[in-house]
Structure 1
Amino acid sequence: MYGASEHTRKLMERFRHLQFAAVVSDVSDSGVAAGGADPAGASGDSATSAADSRYEASVANDRCGDSVRLLVWLDATGERILQLRHHSVGCSICRVSADFLCEAAVGMRLDDLRDLADRVREWQGDADSTAAVPLPQLELFQELRGTRSRARCLLLAWEAAERLCGEVAG
């Protein structure tokens, strides 16, 4: 890591357990519904099951090969997130951002998740903005704000969240 910035060293130290993993699957265990189905058994693209209110959406970055697949379980009203899991393949920024998303989303309404995804996109895209960090965890990515080279890495999970909200809305 010669020549790495202090920020990069801090990021890699915090997530050193992810540093060499090619795939991080179901990283976020927070908010697991009692008796809920195991998301590892999900199959198909954008599959929907009315029996367990499970939906999924996937997004991939064609330039680098990173991909994020989100699986969500909703409450009986179909509006509140009981559990959100991800299966991510890619760089640490992509995987950690997906993990932050899954931690934050449990208990949210889908409309709130869509709003949060919009705020993350706005926050990341404008380095000069004085807007507050949408999630405290995203402060780690402060140096990436306004950059083009790693913006998609940070935003890939949030794009999948927007797609997921669209899938549920029908």
Structure 2
Amino acid sequence: MLLPETVAKQIIADHQRRPRHTGALDGVPGVTLDNPGCGDQVTVWADVQGGRIGQLTFSGKGCAISQSSASLMTVALTGKTLPEARALAGQFRAMVMGDAEGTPELGDLLALAGVSRLHARRKCALLPWRALEQALDTPDR
């Protein structure tokens, strides 16, 4: 499933200009990852309580793709259970890698479906998601 190109561009631009859920979470360790090929950097904080993502935030610098992907991720996954979050992350990864088409469950994340045609930008879109995976894989989760 694809969004019209103009809608996808509007969503990406909106999340780049007005990122959601930004800043560190007190008492929650962040996971920082870099994309040395382009200079993108993102730190993700995931506050998980009772198997559910209570708060999910990020900070970073980089291109519109990496920063909007991080913002869209925080919106999509806040409040989800860990299995729900991991399932949505898997769907997003498959879409970005071109292995599957996006599904309606991805919501506004579908705006990044076009990245699958831009091999160099896949790493940008997946950078915050890789940081999230590491954050969720800490032993206390």
> TM-score range with shorter-chain normalisation?
0.7 to 0.9
Q: Please say if 1:107 is aligned against 2:79.
A: yes
Once residues 97 and 163 of structure 1 are traced to their aligned partners in structure 2, the CA distance between those partners, rounded to angstroms, is: 16
Once residues 11 and 111 of structure 2 are traced to their aligned partners in structure 1, the CA distance between those partners, rounded to angstroms, is: 12
Task: State the shift of 1:92 in Å.
Answer: 0.8
**Change beyond 3 A, Cα 1:159–1:104:** same
* Residue of structure 1 equivalent to 2:34: 60
Task: State the shift of 1:18 in Å.
Answer: 3.6
Q: Please say if 1:70 is aligned against 2:82.
A: no
* Residue of structure 2 equivalent to 1:118: 90
Once residues 48 and 15 of structure 2 are traced to their aligned partners in structure 1, the CA distance between those partners, rounded to angstroms, is: 30
Once residues 102 and 92 of structure 2 are traced to their aligned partners in structure 1, the CA distance between those partners, rounded to angstroms, is: 10
**Change beyond 3 A, Cα 1:147–1:133:** farther
Equivalent runs, 1:23-102 vs 2, <5 Å: 27-28=20-21, 39-40=23-24, 49=27, 54-75=28-49, 77=50, 79-102=51-74
Q: Determine which structure has the larger helix proportion and give its number.
A: 2
Once residues 15 and 86 of structure 2 are traced to their aligned partners in structure 1, the CA distance between those partners, rounded to angstroms, is: 30
Once residues 101 and 14 of structure 2 are traced to their aligned partners in structure 1, the CA distance between those partners, rounded to angstroms, is: 30
Aligned alpha-carbon RMSD (Å): 3.0
Contact 2:35 2:41 in 1 (8 A): yes
Q: Find the residue that maps to 1:135 and give its secondary structure.
A: helix
Contact 1:117 1:159 in 2 (8 A): no
Is there any run of 5+ residues in structure 2 with no aligned partner, and where? none
Task: State the shift of 1:12 in Å.
Answer: 5.8
* Residue of structure 2 equivalent to 1:141: 112
Is there any run of 5+ residues in structure 1 with no aligned partner, and where? 1-5, 30-38, 43-48
Q: Please say if 1:152 is aligned against 2:126.
A: no
**Change beyond 3 A, Cα 1:17–1:141:** closer
Contact 2:24 2:58 in 1 (8 A): no
Task: State the shift of 1:28 in Å.
Answer: 1.9
Count the aligned residue pairs: 138
Instruction: Please say which structure displays the higher CA radius of gyration.
Output: 1
Task: State the shift of 1:67 in Å.
Answer: 1.1
Task: State the shift of 1:139 in Å.
Answer: 2.2
TM-score, reference length from structure 2: 0.78
Once residues 7 and 110 of structure 2 are traced to their aligned partners in structure 1, the CA distance between those partners, rounded to angstroms, is: 15
